[in-house]
Structure 1
Amino acid sequence: MTTLFDPTTAGDLQLANRIVMAPLTRNRAPNAVPTPLMATYYTQRASAGLLITEATAISHQGQGYADVPGLYAPEQIAGWQAVTSAVHAAGGKIVTQLWHVGRVSHNELQPGGGAPVAPSALTAKTKTVLLKDGVPTFVDTSAPRALQLDELPGIVDDYRRAAQAAIEAGFDGVEIHAANGYLLDQFLKTGANQRTDAYGGSIENRARLLLEVVSAVTEAIGGGRTGIRLSPVTPANDIVDADPQPLFDHVARALGPLGLAYVHVIEGATGGPRELADRPFDYAAFKAAYRAAGGSGAWMVNNGYDLALAQQALADGADLVAFGRPYIANPDLVARLKAGGPFNKPDKMTFYGGGAEGYTDYPFLN
């Protein structure tokens, strides 16, 4: 029987095992530039079959939280080169998550103090993180403005350029972040998209920007180095869709022919319940729609997995299992899962911002 510790492939990526480190925002990149400490952090976790970096802004406009990294300036590319070189020297594989937050931002984080952008001028009832006197502070998001039709090609180009920059920085590939209530998810879902042009209304229209981005990225770096993250029903960042099943089945059918490395699916509420009574969703049908459309990429599952749940997911046909919070405190999570524990407990006070404490100082198994 397939186990978490067996090698596999995801598109062009040869992976030593089926354990994935999920993206985890840690707010330790001042001025959006990756640091040597980040290289240490990721290298400590390089025994994962695949590392997915914390979400990384494709542009200054795409930033929504203080001290998150970017991938749109030379110094950022140089900072990431140090990270990828160290991970590769340790035998790991690493992709970066391409991020535009859309309306989940604040004026203080935007170019010129401007309004965040969104499909429609609807404020997200959620929080973001600013630094106040050097201390991470949760604040309400700012009111966004609706993107003009002629701005959308530029955003698609920002994704394309960021994907190319990722390869220049030494990444093995990229993951397009289309989940958790950020920009691409905002366009997908009725709760955030009230447009009446070619990017709003029908399922086909709401999925248009996402599919343009995926096409641009795969054309730039190849489908075999491109993954995508989707969250059909999470309420994260005040996002909701009136009827997610036909929406995501359509997305799955459209992604099928693009030769992606993997599809990364958050099941249920991000960081919360795996099933939502008020938002039922058939993940098997979603996957079947992708496979029926020719989708051969690895199927990655995520949300609250432990060893037993992960093994059951593999038995049920998943290819990869992503672990998020366990990787904060357990850099050697692969070894700990194989040994059945013990597991370090994370220090929640050090999740966002700071230095080595609660970041690179967790102990390894002897």
Structure 2
Amino acid sequence: MTRHPLFQPLRLGSLTLPNRIVMPPMTRSRASQPGDEANELMAAYYAQRASAGLIVSEGTYIAPLGKGYAWTPGIHTPGQVAGWRKVTEAVHAAGGRIFAQLWHVGRLSHVSLLGGRQPVSSSPIQAAGVNVFIAAEDGGTPGFVQASAPRALTVAEIGEIVEQYRVAARNAMAAGFDGVELHGANGYLVNQFIDSNANTRTDDYGGSLENRLRFLDEVTRALIGGTGDASRVGVRLAPLTTLNGCIDDHPQTTYLAAAKQLGSLGIGYIHIAEADWEDAPVMPLEFKWKLRETFPGMLIYAGRYTSERAREAIAAGWADLIAFGRPFIANPDLPERLRTDAPLAPHDRDTLFGGGARGLTDYPALADSEA
């Protein structure tokens, strides 16, 4: 097992990752209220999973208009930075490494989450049929509602958001994170600029592929400036998933161009989110090899990977690391379970969003469950 590709160390900039297993970002909606601040419960949750080669935090919104779900943490106030410092200190004390995923949801929000303000996007296109998680105003049961109709950002506002990303990166480093990951996938704001069917702009941020990639380029440069080190920046992309209503007419062409652009900036990694639902479209192997040839940095893949599929991907050479999402929820010591081929515990769907320790920190490690 020590020769298993998943358990070989890897250098990511100045970091040494002890294995190729990544805990990817997963929204759990347990930030302290008021203030949307990370807390001791979240610190315990991440520290339990510190044996991952790399942890990427749940999506962390960079500014008030970037919020899209109830009880998600931010990173734009002093209290939020202090809250995240509790998390990073706990993870580092447990021997782990953690990046902050920086998040602006754009149109995937609701006026009740934004103090009555309208969500913003590249274009005034509502994400029809897409729901977001909100708290009940009367103290009742929280739930999912249709995302509100957005308005298009002005060019001046786009520049302000780019600066908000720069500040968020600085805040992440001040909070003790080892780096940052830009959420450019799953239909959120960056994705709303990239994909052709979500962007109807006629200015420098719309129309041509070069223009649709401009926001991604500017934000990534801001994150490099905010961290001071391109190797401490990753970007998550979802080339073929069409999630949350973002669809591109020529996705392979678009995302190979994005990978080339990001490679020229020298970032540490691209994190590819493959479709992970039942009967989901399969990302062609040929496309994965084209990404490998195009992007000089590390490539992380996420999407229903098993230990065997992960081994094959890394051994083949088109992937450097593999992210395991849902398995990390109920298996805090997932690397050890994968190393020993132990059974994986199932997670409780009813405790994914909101609540307390139940369904977050009460899943036992393998040794404890066997005892």
Q: TM-score, normalised by structure 1?
A: 0.95
Match of 1:191 among 188, 197, 215: 197
Q: Say if 2:83 is the partner of 1:79.
A: yes
Match of 1:263 among 234, 253, 270: 270
| Alignment partner, residue 338 of structure 2 | 337
Distance, in Å, in 2 between the alignment partners of 1:270 and 1:136 is 26
Distance, in Å, in 1 between the alignment partners of 2:65 and 2:140 is 22
Match of 2:239 among 232, 236, 252: 232
Q: Give 1:12 shift.
A: 2.6
| Alignment partner, residue 173 of structure 1 | 179
Distance, in Å, in 1 between the alignment partners of 2:43 and 2:294 is 38
Map 1:112-191 to 2 at 5 A.
Answer: 112-125=115-128, 126-132=130-136, 133=139, 135-191=141-197
Q: 1:128 to 1:79 in 2, by over 3 A?
A: same
Equivalent position SS for 1:38: helix
Q: Say if 2:110 is the partner of 1:97.
A: no
Match of 1:42 among 14, 25, 46: 46
Q: Is the 8 A contact 2:168 2:226 kept in 1?
A: no
Match of 1:249 among 256, 264, 284: 256
Q: Give 1:289 shift.
A: 1.7
Q: Give 1:311 shift.
A: 0.3
Q: Give 1:238 shift.
A: 1.2
Give CA-to-partner distance per residue, 1:6-38, whole Å, 9 cap, x none: 111122321111100010000001331101100
Give CA-to-partner distance per residue, 1:82-120, whole Å, 9 cap, x none: 11001100100001100000000000111x411100001
Structure 2 spans left out of the alignment, 5+ residues: none
Q: Give 1:286 shift.
A: 2.3
Following TM superposition, where does structure 1 have runs of at least 4 consecutive aligned residues deviating by more than 3 angstroms? 270-274
Distance, in Å, in 2 between the alignment partners of 1:319 and 1:35 is 32
| Alignment partner, residue 56 of structure 1 | 60
Q: 1:191 to 1:69 in 2, by over 3 A?
A: same
Distance, in Å, in 2 between the alignment partners of 1:271 and 1:93 is 28
Q: Give 1:258 shift.
A: 1.5
Equivalent position SS for 1:77: helix
| Alignment partner, residue 16 of structure 2 | 14
Structure 1 spans left out of the alignment, 5+ residues: none
Distance, in Å, in 2 between the alignment partners of 1:134 and 1:356 is 20
Q: What fraction of aligned residue pairs are identical, expressed as a percent? A: 48
Distance, in Å, in 1 between the alignment partners of 2:334 and 2:96 is 14
| Alignment partner, residue 311 of structure 2 | 311
Q: Give 1:73 shift.
A: 0.2
Distance, in Å, in 1 between the alignment partners of 2:124 and 2:219 is 22
Equivalent position SS for 1:337: helix
Q: Is the 8 A contact 1:274 1:304 kept in 2?
A: no
Q: Give 1:365 shift.
A: 1.0
Q: Give 1:301 shift.
A: 0.8
Q: Is the 8 A contact 1:245 1:281 kept in 2?
A: no
Q: Say if 2:205 is the partner of 1:202.
A: no
Give CA-to-partner distance per residue, 1:260-296, whole Å, 9 cap, x none: 11111112x244555359x998222122122xxxx2x
Q: 1:165 to 1:360 in 2, by over 3 A?
A: same
Supply the AA of the counterpart residue of 1:13: L
| Alignment partner, residue 65 of structure 1 | 69
Distance, in Å, in 2 between the alignment partners of 1:89 and 1:272 is 38
Supply the AA of the counterpart residue of 1:264: H
Equivalent position SS for 2:64: coil
Equivalent position SS for 1:345: coil
Q: Give 1:154 shift.
A: 0.4
Q: Give 1:141 shift.
A: 0.3
Equivalent position SS for 2:38: coil
Distance, in Å, in 1 between the alignment partners of 2:306 and 2:257 is 30
Distance, in Å, in 1 between the alignment partners of 2:300 and 2:211 is 26
Q: 1:271 to 1:158 in 2, by over 3 A?
A: farther
Equivalent position SS for 2:207: coil
Q: Give 1:155 shift.
A: 0.5
Equivalent position SS for 1:128: strand
Q: TM-score, normalised by structure 2?
A: 0.94
Q: Give 1:315 shift.
A: 1.1
| Alignment partner, residue 302 of structure 1 | 302
Supply the AA of the counterpart residue of 2:119: P
Distance, in Å, in 1 between the alignment partners of 2:199 and 2:76 is 27
Supply the AA of the counterpart residue of 1:266: A
